[in-house]
Structure 1
Amino acid sequence: MKMQQYMIAKFQALINEKYTRCAQKWNETPWLQWIVYLLSVFAVGVSIYRLNKPTPWVVDDLLKIQAARNIHSMNQLWELAYHFYMGWGGRVWGEIVAQLFLMIPKSIFNKINTIGYLLLIVLLQFNISGRIKPSVSTIVYVHFALLFCLPAFGQDILWISGAANYLWASLMPLLLLGIWRKSLCYDSLSYESRLGIFLVFITGVFAGWANENVSVALIAMGFGFCCFDKKRYGKIGRYKISGVIGLFVGAALLWFAPGNFVRFAAEKHSKSIFNIAHMIVRNILVMFDPTATLILMFAFCILRFTLFESYQGK
């Protein structure tokens, strides 16, 4: 028995020594980390392309395809966007992107949409770490979290009209959050030039104009970042103020689009306060749906506390 325990202990020590050496070598070779990271991103891209390829035009795509084929100039595209904004809804940029995608062959869309998905997961990774780093584990975690935890992955990522309104519309909000997130990793204010302040404002407008639910969350997070600046520096960065103002402008253009009211009347929605309250409660309960976001929330909490304990241990 003692011999068996001794052999097991020796074997564990050997494994630990090998692991320590490999980890040390890995940490000392950034070029190898980047190669493995880029290969991982490429593998994710291949998998998404293979999912995009067999996905056909469906539902709204078939309804919009004829209108897209009749567009032969930018003026016609803007005219279509104007009528959409005035007669159907505020998500005009998603509509423009959808029309542009429907104007090109599906084979080209498959490649462009794959690039868009890679931008999405890289921006998500940047918002997690606050810097550009070749973290294979993070990129793989983000990819599989989206793949398995998005309530409607095909609708949001692969379907042309859905990808335009959700995947591509998410890039600008994530870019704005990434700019703000970066400031948490440094001890000085960034983007305080006039050009930087203006560009962040424009980014804020497009981010707030992207999606109704996202705009509310972004405004709340914007105030959170401003409070962080106030506590850390004693003042709020002007680029964060300009970003929040941009969010309000974009959100107002989205929420109060004339088309929203036209669509509301056409679909005969109830104006009852009780019906609205019911819809709010229903949307909140969706977060606790095991088949939707609950698993992702649990995974996030586990990862958050694991990393926190690891950081505290260091």
Structure 2
Amino acid sequence: MNRKCRETVLAAAGIFLLMYALNYFMPLHRDDYEYSLIWLTNQHIASLPDVMESLWRHYLLHGGRMVAFFFLDVFLLWGKGIFDIANALMFLILIVLLTIHARRDWRFWQEPRLFAVMGAFAWLSFPHFGEVAVWKCGAAVYLWTGVFAALFLVPYNLQCRAMAQEKPPVRNWLIAPMLVLGVLAGWSVENLAVTVFALTAGLSWWARRKGAMPLWMPAGAFGAFVGLVLLVAAPGNFVRYDAQGSGKGILTHIGNQFAGNGEMALYILPVLLLLLAAGRIYRLHLAARVDMLHDNAARERPCALKVGQIACLLWILLLVFSYFNGGFFANALRDFLVAHVLVPLGLDKPRTIEHFANVMAGFEEMAIYWLTIFFFYSLLKRSLGFSRDKLAAARTVSWLEVMHTFPAARYAAFLLPLALFNNFVMIAAPTFPARATFSSVAMILVAACAVLRDPVVADVLQSRAKKTLLAGAAAICSFTMAAALFITAAMQEENAVRIAIVEQAAANGEDIAYMKPIPLKNRALRHVFFVDFDNGVTKEGLCRYYGIKDICVER
């Protein structure tokens, strides 16, 4: 095994161990209890026939995401321990597939740094990470179906690259596998299913126009169409839409687009800033100002911090210390704002104060995250020498010229609008939660890594900003990973105490289980997913699962 393979294996092991630890600490939660029962009954799933019965009832009464819920129900039947391993592997497989898409080549192990960067991007950028990649129900819906779609699209990507090199491979043996994978990819989540079908149908048409369309391309597109029809035509979709979409006009649907895309942009901010830096490097390169980028670039030179940067760094250190010591700064700020702002304005109802306290519970982690991002981006700009004169020179080059010159830029310019289209499909849905941007973020990460590995960009970043980027990545990832592991472990203990209360109430024949609220409020930038036990969805599923009538959280 050569050095690159060893480094890739090491990075893969780190990703797997992190994900396994999070899955190990994450208990059954919320909808997991609903899906542990035959749908809308109180009967526990105890066999594969029970799984199929539950899926059929779900298809008729709630929705068409059968691929996701088949795997969820099966793993809930087999036990949490098996799922913990399988889900960590699925996340690792997703990173492998996204790296393949960024390279447009199967040999992902040849770029261990790119593999590690993709893993870091995925950790930081997927909105509500704990909800879409760790929590069992959410991971089955978004992570698992995302893996099927990414795998299905790999042959299309490689085929298009081969056609660009005028060496189109013919792989007719792929017809049957691509048909099956197409059904799985199309039978995923609604917006991704539409995008997958539209993309594969369009690529098949384009390949036919070029006279180089192997038969597996339309076969896969047809499979995606079949999966899409099975997904959206489920009778349960209309039942659920009547319940959730009633009375919501077009303005609500349009407003959902701003909210969903806006929240996605907040999560992918580090990626967007790196794309901005890469774009400037491209433009400076074409502006015949290569000397500005490479002068004395044999090594990255340390630069003295400015007063503003020092102040920012001190604030970050104070907030980190407070965060891991009870959040005394956020608590003091919360109490001050309640006493001097909310109360004088008459906004002092208990429920209002509770909501405000929940918001303030995440203040420190968000502040640490944003301040760290902008602190290191300011260092990055200095390392790259982005002065006013250089940026003025860059603006003399159009983005069209950049895309015409650099294949990686063209590839990114294709993927970024595709991601926005994937989000736009959600306009048909009554709601657009940030977790629904999961597949769009995956496309953006592929685009970013494709650009960052381009030698024109990579050489400049390697020579001028390597230490800055490594320090920034280490600071942000270590903080969020430590916080996520710490909070998830603490949440597991709190959950176990309350489940014991519910089990005792059920064993005693009591109708109601009484408990205190979970004191934890921090969620490590949503890398941890939990809600209290009196939440509607959580309470209903738990009560039916344990055979009691109600859960009362004593607030």
Matches of 1:271 and 1:256 in 2, distance apart?
21
- Report matched runs for 1:36-47 at 5 Å: 36-47=7-18
Aligned to 1:272: 249
Does residue 115 (structure 1) correspond to residue 89 (structure 2)? The answer is: yes
* Farther off after superposition, 126-135 or 222-231: 222-231
8 Å CA contact 1:81–1:96 kept in 2: the answer is yes
- Report matched runs for 1:171-186 at 5 Å: 171-186=147-162
Match of 2:31 among 60, 74, 87: 60
**Structure 1's 105 and 202: CA in aligned 2 closer, same or farther, altered over 3 A?**
closer
* Farther off after superposition, 54-63 or 275-284: 275-284
- The runs of at least 4 aligned residues of structure 1 exceeding 6 Å deviation read none
8 Å CA contact 1:207–1:250 kept in 2: the answer is yes
CA RMSD of aligned residues (A): 2.6
Matches of 2:176 and 2:451 in 1, distance apart?
37
8 Å CA contact 1:101–1:160 kept in 2: the answer is no
Larger Rg over CA atoms: 2
**Structure 1's 270 and 237: CA in aligned 2 closer, same or farther, altered over 3 A?**
farther
8 Å CA contact 1:191–1:239 kept in 2: the answer is yes
Matches of 1:268 and 1:39 in 2, distance apart?
47
1:204 shift after superposition = 0.8
8 Å CA contact 1:218–1:247 kept in 2: the answer is yes
Matches of 1:197 and 1:66 in 2, distance apart?
37
- Report matched runs for 1:52-131 at 5 Å: 52-67=23-38, 70-129=44-103, 130-131=105-106
Does residue 136 (structure 1) correspond to residue 282 (structure 2)? The answer is: no
Match of 2:139 among 145, 154, 163: 163
Q: What secondary structure sits across from 1:103 in the alignment?
A: helix
TM-score (norm 2): 0.47
8 Å CA contact 2:48–2:74 kept in 1: the answer is no
Kindly indicate which of the two structures has a greater share of residues assigned to helix. 1
Matches of 1:300 and 1:49 in 2, distance apart?
31
TM-score (norm 1): 0.79
Aligned to 2:187: 209
AA partner of residue 220 (structure 2): G
Structure 1 gaps, min length 5: 1-29
Q: Percent identity?
A: 25
**Structure 1's 297 and 243: CA in aligned 2 closer, same or farther, altered over 3 A?**
farther
Aligned to 2:6: 35
Matches of 1:296 and 1:51 in 2, distance apart?
24
AA partner of residue 87 (structure 2): N
CA deviation vs aligned residue, 1:30-69 (integer Å, no higher than 9, x gap): 7222122112211211111122221122111133334498
1:237 shift after superposition = 2.6
8 Å CA contact 1:120–1:170 kept in 2: the answer is yes
* Farther off after superposition, 219-228 or 37-46: 219-228
